[in-house]
Structure 1
Amino acid sequence: MPFKKITAFIVFISFLYSCGSQTHEVLETQIIPAPTKHTINKGSFTLNSSVGISYTKDFKISAEFLKTFIEEGSQIKLKESKSIAFIKDESISSAEGYSLQIFPNRIEIKAKTDQGAFYAVQSLRQLLPVEFENGTFNEDKVIIPCVTIEDNPQFKYRGMHLDVGRHMFSVNFIKKYIDALVMLKMNTFHWHLTEDQGWRIEIKKYPKLQEVAAFRNETLIGHYSNQPQQFDGKQYGGFYTQDEVKDVVAYAKSRFITVIPEIELPGHSQAAIAAYPELGCTGKQVEVATKWGVFEEIYCTKDETFEFLEDVLDEVLELFPSEYIHIGGDEAPKTRWKTCDVCQNRIKAEGLKDEHQLQSYFIARIETYLNSKGRQIIGWDEILEGGLAPNATVMSWRGTEGAVEAAKQKHNVVMSPTSHSYFDYYQSDNDNEPLAIGGYLPLEKVYSFNPIPEGLSKEESQYILGAQGNLWTEYIPTSKQVEYMVFPRMIAMSEVVWSKPEHKNYADFVSRLEYFHKRLDALDINYANHLFEIEGSLIAEGYQLKTLTKNKSIRFTLDGSKPSINSEVYSKPIPVTKNTMINAAVFNDKEQLGSIFTQTINYHKAVGKKITINVEPNKAYSGSGADGLINGISGSDTRYGDKEWLGFWGDDLEITIDLGEEMDINSIETRFHNGQGQWIYAPNEIWFKFQLADGSTVTDKINTQNEVTKNLVDINYIFTKPKHLDIKVKTIILKIPNYGIIPEGKQGVGNKAWTFIDEIIIN
């Protein structure tokens, strides 16, 4: 039976007692991430205090985890019996694979390794009532359905990242974060420990890393792009002692989580240089950074720098037994190197071509040292620039191009592109979402991610180890906000990396997630619940409304009032022939469940017409496609990554709007995002070309006011007709040259600028 049909029948029965008579409630439960094979058998198993666990030392971790989970989560105390048996099975193909069979009188967990059995326990855990998660299950038995699960992961690397350089979180919370990975069968925690804004790991040989580099004088308030920038005037900082790091690593190991530390180099190192200025190219005193972004202070390529880094890494290696050490390698401006005699002499002495090859030399030298210690490096895809170090693994974040390039060179790759993996992006269009860096990454897009990029052969695809979600914390000061940003997107990512593509089904996932929210409630996890939100889009038939969850109704109004239980039920697209305001919400039979969705539609002359663009928008910022530029709906005033803004990286644009008939045109309005801290620049000029009814053309140009203090650049072009002529327009062409290369002194210096454009309004 296909998986998606099976899951609807999976149940567990928990017995409740009232007035001495036995009653029971049947609750549907479904496993996340989706198993490989999943069948329902007749009968059920009773879990009570007559049950016991049998296991050999090969399964000590998984068996004791299960015993503790049951006994601390309920009143059930297990005895010594073979009711739940852990069995070694060498025939299971994967070290992380398992078989879970529940019979009426016995549960068998088969695996080749303790780790495989541990993942079986996580599946069994999800067949138990959610009250086990917080110790509030008060009955003396649970009825579990007889099922057979055979399972193994699609990818060997299944990870989550957490940046503690910008904002730091307690050891207890780090353990809670790791526990969440455990529940979702992830196996890697990428701990980003050093940054321009703070050094977070104790290095005993260099005490100033704790005394100076770990603290910044103040912190930026609001978004980086806000002008003028403001600061809170409060010192912020701290670090994890080596004992605390050992505690976290041991805790993770006991749950089959590998902790990969990240020690950034050669860039994102201003905090370390603030502590030891001689590590920089100028030798001048700098401060630990107090705002976000990319800074010119990077490690100098002098021998003393490598001695420092080797000393640091020696202490790091003692703390982290992981095969991989993450060395960053991203966003390293070459400004200091270009004017540094030491670095220029290094280029000549090593026969290097330029500063990009100098970065490659830097990475390769660190790799050689770590290889000599039996370790491997992993770095962000900028380590490809100037030539990839011999044994390096690439973490591809700037799209998929770096991944394809590395895999074709037979280097291992972990996929982590901004388009699907950056959980610091907004996850909803709601105006009440907490401040984020930008972008738009809803749950469905995370779930749709295929870590195998296009353009790789079957053999090359073997170099894709897996994927991870990333959380950068510039705008995330609290642990509760960390939870809000990663849940439930982490849950979607867990299924991306564990489950086979043929077993993935988004509607089914949403159904399972709706129930899984109860487990998150029991674990006191502050997840973002957008399941009862409404998604709207303008299609040929009218304005369409959708919601994720089943067996709910959408009710709406068109008169500006709030929808209620008595409002009209949405059943088909709402006709739009004029300016329209739609208010809608999701309801069950009794009450409103989600927030109110509001959409204002500006019905101008180009709505529904034909539009083409000479280049495709970037995949990470494709919005609603070209049609979204003339659908009557404007994007957010504060976010450039929603589904109405289109983003292009370094492209000159030519946008053609075919009105389909001759029309009087008076004006053209549009706007560009100008968040230069995110490498986004409004164009300096725009060309307009009008094709008239008589076949002739009129061309005009305007210059924009591309000021750094303006996050939005509005364009309002007035079409001036020659006197005494009745001119009608059939086609409008906008030519928008890209801003070009980002200049020195700006974030993203040397990179191509992004262009973000919103609705084009024709009046």
Structure 2
Amino acid sequence: MSARFLILCSLILTLFSCAEPQVKLLSPSIIPAPQSLQVNAGHFTINEETTLSNNDDFTASYNFLNNFLEHATDRTWKTEYSETNSIILEYDDSISSKEGYSIESNEHNITIKASTDAGAFYAVQSLLQLMPADHNNTTEIHIPAVTIKDEPRFKYRGMHLDVSRHMYDVDFIKKYINAMAMLKMNNFHWHLTDDQGWRIEIKKYPRLQEVAAYRDSTLLGHYNDTPHQYDGKKYGGFYTQEEVREVIAFAKARHINVIPEIEMPGHAQAAIAAYPELGCTGENVQVAMKWGVFEDIYCPSEETFTFLENVLDEVMELFPSKYIHIGGDEAPKTQWKTSDVAQQVIKENGLKDEHELQSYFIQRMEKYLNSKGRQIIGWDEILEGGLAPNATVMSWRGTNGAVEAAKARHDVIMTPTSHAYFDYYQSENDDEPLAIGGFLPLEKVYNFNPIPKELSDEEAIHVLGVQGNVWTEYMTTSEQVEYMAFPRMLAMSEVAWSVDENKNYDSFINRVEYFHKRLDAMDINYANHLYEIEGTLNEDQAYELSTKTIGKQIRFTTDGSEPDSSSTVYESPFPFTADMTLKAQVFDDDEPLGRLFTQELLYHKGVGATISINKEPHNSYPGSGASGLINGIKGSDSRYGDSEWLGFWGDDIEIEITFKEPVLISEIELRFYNAPGQWIYAPEEFSFYSRFESGVLVADKILFKNEFQSSLVDFKYEFGKYNKGYKSRNVKFIIPNYGIIPDGNQGAGNKAWTFIDEIIIK
């Protein structure tokens, strides 16, 4: 796709004909971007005489297109070949990609060519996006003359939905799948079981429906809010096997494979609540009422394996998917360490420890599924203790798992938290709905490169594709799911389908702006952050404002008043030399758009100094880099991972700030994030050093009790008692990482994260 396409996506094409009235056509605005798109002179008009011509092999594509056109034009369509005024679906064996296609539209007809029904189906999705979003019940639909040749970059293009924490009706599941189909995604990962609820009917085990499907109460607010509060209302439900079949048939008609996830050996508390003998303690437990990781996991007994094999038999009878997802993540080993059964399995099978026991557990289930002609997918923890021979790995804890698996010639699906977890906040606005934490804006999703740089070309072949994940702890309604998934699903679809040279974020944003009309027509409750403003402090200590949409103005004030049509128009960065309250808004002529941008800037003695850190922040959470710790801008008080918080995974860090001229310091404030539910721990201590202009070095060690009652740890350090009027040349902080997360906590056994924000020097 040439640069011409990127320009065309933001223009209006006006086509004239001496024989008919003027016709205005929107430029092609297809998501995901095709590999090649050329706009030609002229257009095709769908009218009351237009017919369909179908290749017999393209049944699903034809049915989908026919149903769409009948609804759009309110008439029955004829299926017959015609050399003019026809939409033709034609088999072409020269198209080597099974999901590839071509479209040729001109004034006479529209010809779709593909070698499979899947390719023809994706051509239909592109064709529908060439039509106006508001086309219903119109006598004529004008489509620009184009030549499109297209095929996907990755063969696995997925979206996930967790229905265990909160459940949604079948109509919404279909709506979600329909949106995936529009975006040419082909795998729906249905997370059906977890600690908080079992959502699929298993006829052999009725207590899964009677007990495991319902919890007595649900956590209110955020997991990090203490003490925990609950709503006291019974919650739950499950999908009948008939409903599951209905969903699978709906997805199949859209060339979407449905992958069920049945969690094991961890995230099994709901199942153990129904059948206590599946656990290691034999004690009665409740279906979990709060979020997190729980120590009650399946005991590796023969009774457990028989139960899981029987469950999977019913699952496989329902789901034709080659892949069955067996979870494998966040499985605490505490109960296995004290279980006679678990220890006996370790001894009998010559296993080294509980990690190898988990590998044994996964490999045993894999062998069973392989014997039935199926393959497993598991989260990247299945690498621990040795990977099952034929397993595919979903890499979620960053990219290390993907690299390890691909180098061992195992297939990989990329779904790291940093770029693929749509339960993270997508805007820094304070009025965003409650989310689990983190920060994943649209642009970061779009810029995700699924091929880790550590892989050779040969190893990269094992990266099957990408997946966006929607975990629903804080999504009580389907409208909230839509708000968190859209438009980030649009960005992920382009990551999955379009090659790098065809990707351009400015073009994408312009297409998304138009695509909103299509989402409106589908009654999708998308998040609209296109008219938001981003602010950054540059290397010259000047503040920059930007917005992604073109043809708009930014107006701003620095005195705390709200901008209006008479406020200053932003044209270039302005200096930051004193405290200010900046407010800005996007305007289209005199009309304000989007939300008001507000930024408090605190001018302190560290601003403009030189700063160094002995470790680079993790590439998933770089914040604004080292200089962001002294730029006068605080990160969010309620979420980590935004443009100001720096994240370090397992690293002890040393931070040194050197002033241009010695300064007299009275107080230093440090800000840490503390969210054990997200593996983030404020340090238990840190050391502080400063050298005075006289050469004297002062040092101190600060100890925390680490009994933090909120996510924000804001520590003020009184320095005036040391300096006695002497000015400091520099300050240095040594901040140890918390270490390994202890048993019983989320992420047990993993390294903890350290998140640090502004260091304020007064």
Verify same fold: TM over 0.5.
Answer: yes
CA–CA separation in structure 2 for the residues paired with 1:4 and 1:741: 52
Q: Which residue of 1 aligns with 2:395?
A: 396
Q: Secondary structure at the match of 1:497?
A: helix
Q: Secondary structure at the match of 1:594?
A: strand
TM-aligned CA distance change 1:688 to 1:579, over 3 Å:
same
Q: CA deviation at 1:3?
A: 4.1
Q: Which residue of 2 aligns with 1:575?
A: 575
Q: Which residue of 2 aligns with 1:18?
A: none
Mean Cα displacement is larger for which, 654-663 or 204-213? 654-663
Q: Which residue of 2 aligns with 1:269?
A: 268
CA–CA separation in structure 2 for the residues paired with 1:575 and 1:629: 18
Q: CA deviation at 1:705?
A: 3.6
Mean Cα displacement is larger for which, 254-263 or 100-109? 100-109
1:239-258 alpha-carbon deviations (Å, 9 max, x no partner): 00000000000110011000
Q: CA deviation at 1:622?
A: 1.5
Q: Which residue of 2 aligns with 1:553?
A: 553
Q: Tell me if structure 1 keeps the 8 A contact 2:413–2:464.
A: yes
CA–CA separation in structure 2 for the residues paired with 1:541 and 1:515: 36
Q: Tell me if structure 2 keeps the 8 A contact 1:48–1:76.
A: no
Q: Tell me if structure 1 keeps the 8 A contact 2:191–2:262.
A: yes
**Of the candidates 99, 105, 108, which is equivalent to residue 108 of structure 2?**
105
Unaligned runs of 5+ in 1: 16-20
Q: Which residue of 1 aligns with 2:278?
A: 279
Q: Which residue of 2 aligns with 1:94?
A: 97
Q: Tell me if structure 1 keeps the 8 A contact 2:214–2:235.
A: yes
1:526-575 alpha-carbon deviations (Å, 9 max, x no partner): 00000000000111251110001000000011121111111110001121
CA–CA separation in structure 1 for the residues paired with 2:617 and 2:536: 19
Q: Which residue of 1 aligns with 2:195?
A: 196
Q: CA deviation at 1:319?
A: 0.4
TM-aligned CA distance change 1:620 to 1:673, over 3 Å:
same
TM-aligned CA distance change 1:123 to 1:667, over 3 Å:
same
Q: Tell me if structure 2 keeps the 8 A contact 1:14–1:129.
A: no
Q: Which amino acid aligns with 1:626?
A: A
1:580-620 alpha-carbon deviations (Å, 9 max, x no partner): 11010000013101110000101000112111111111222
2:223 is the alignment partner of 1:220 = no
Q: CA deviation at 1:27?
A: 2.9
Q: Tell me if structure 1 keeps the 8 A contact 2:294–2:744.
A: no
CA–CA separation in structure 2 for the residues paired with 1:7 and 1:152: 22
Q: Which residue of 1 aligns with 2:49?
A: 50
CA–CA separation in structure 1 for the residues paired with 2:642 and 2:244: 38
**Of the candidates 120, 125, 131, which is equivalent to residue 122 of structure 1?**
125
Q: Tell me if structure 2 keeps the 8 A contact 1:13–1:144.
A: no
Q: Secondary structure at the match of 1:126?
A: helix
Q: CA deviation at 1:682?
A: 1.3
Mean Cα displacement is larger for which, 104-113 or 149-158? 104-113
Q: Which residue of 1 aligns with 2:77?
A: 78
Q: Tell me if structure 2 keeps the 8 A contact 1:377–1:393.
A: yes
CA–CA separation in structure 2 for the residues paired with 1:6 and 1:447: 16
Q: Secondary structure at the match of 1:414?
A: strand
Alignment of 1:503-518 (within 5 A): 503-518=502-517
Q: CA deviation at 1:382?
A: 0.1
Q: Which residue of 1 aligns with 2:597?
A: 597
1:244-278 alpha-carbon deviations (Å, 9 max, x no partner): 00000011001100000000000000000000000
Q: Tell me if structure 1 keeps the 8 A contact 2:244–2:318.
A: yes
CA–CA separation in structure 1 for the residues paired with 2:429 and 2:511: 24
1:698-725 alpha-carbon deviations (Å, 9 max, x no partner): 11111124114332222111114558x5
Q: Secondary structure at the match of 2:210?
A: helix
Q: Tell me if structure 2 keeps the 8 A contact 1:200–1:214.
A: yes
Q: CA deviation at 1:624?
A: 1.0
2:647 is the alignment partner of 1:647 = yes
Q: Which residue of 1 aligns with 2:741?
A: 742
Q: Tell me if structure 1 keeps the 8 A contact 2:25–2:144.
A: no
Q: CA deviation at 1:67?
A: 1.4
Alignment of 1:226-375 (within 5 A): 226-375=225-374
CA–CA separation in structure 2 for the residues paired with 1:726 and 1:66: 79
Q: Which residue of 1 aligns with 2:629?
A: 629
Q: Which amino acid aligns with 2:435?
A: A
1:52-83 alpha-carbon deviations (Å, 9 max, x no partner): 11113201111121111111022454333431
Q: Secondary structure at the match of 2:737?
A: coil
| Aligned length, in residue pairs | 753
Q: CA deviation at 1:153?
A: 0.1
CA–CA separation in structure 2 for the residues paired with 1:576 and 1:41: 50
Q: Tell me if structure 2 keeps the 8 A contact 1:357–1:387.
A: yes
Alignment of 1:152-171 (within 5 A): 152-171=151-170
Q: Which amino acid aligns with 2:260?
A: P
Q: Secondary structure at the match of 2:176?
A: helix
Q: Tell me if structure 2 keeps the 8 A contact 1:443–1:492.
A: yes
CA–CA separation in structure 2 for the residues paired with 1:683 and 1:677: 16
Q: Tell me if structure 1 keeps the 8 A contact 2:98–2:118.
A: yes
Q: Which residue of 1 aligns with 2:693?
A: 693
Mean Cα displacement is larger for which, 753-762 or 170-179? 753-762
Q: Tell me if structure 1 keeps the 8 A contact 2:332–2:743.
A: no
CA–CA separation in structure 2 for the residues paired with 1:26 and 1:90: 32
CA–CA separation in structure 2 for the residues paired with 1:619 and 1:638: 21
Q: CA deviation at 1:695?
A: 3.1
Q: CA deviation at 1:22?
A: 5.1
Question: Could you say what the CA RMSD is over the residues aligned between the two structures, in angstroms?
Answer: 1.6
CA–CA separation in structure 1 for the residues paired with 2:516 and 2:26: 14
Q: Secondary structure at the match of 2:370?
A: helix
Alignment of 1:705-720 (within 5 A): 705-720=705-720
Percent pairwise identity: 63
CA–CA separation in structure 2 for the residues paired with 1:44 and 1:709: 64
Q: Which amino acid aligns with 1:422?
A: Y
Q: CA deviation at 1:86?
A: 1.2
Q: Which residue of 2 aligns with 1:414?
A: 413
TM-aligned CA distance change 1:729 to 1:160, over 3 Å:
same
Q: Which residue of 2 aligns with 1:530?
A: 529
Q: Which amino acid aligns with 2:307?
A: F
Q: Secondary structure at the match of 2:238?
A: coil
Q: Secondary structure at the match of 1:620?
A: coil
Q: What TM-score results when the alignment is normalised by the length of structure 2? A: 0.97
Q: What TM-score results when the alignment is normalised by the length of structure 1? A: 0.97
Q: Tell me if structure 2 keeps the 8 A contact 1:705–1:713.
A: no
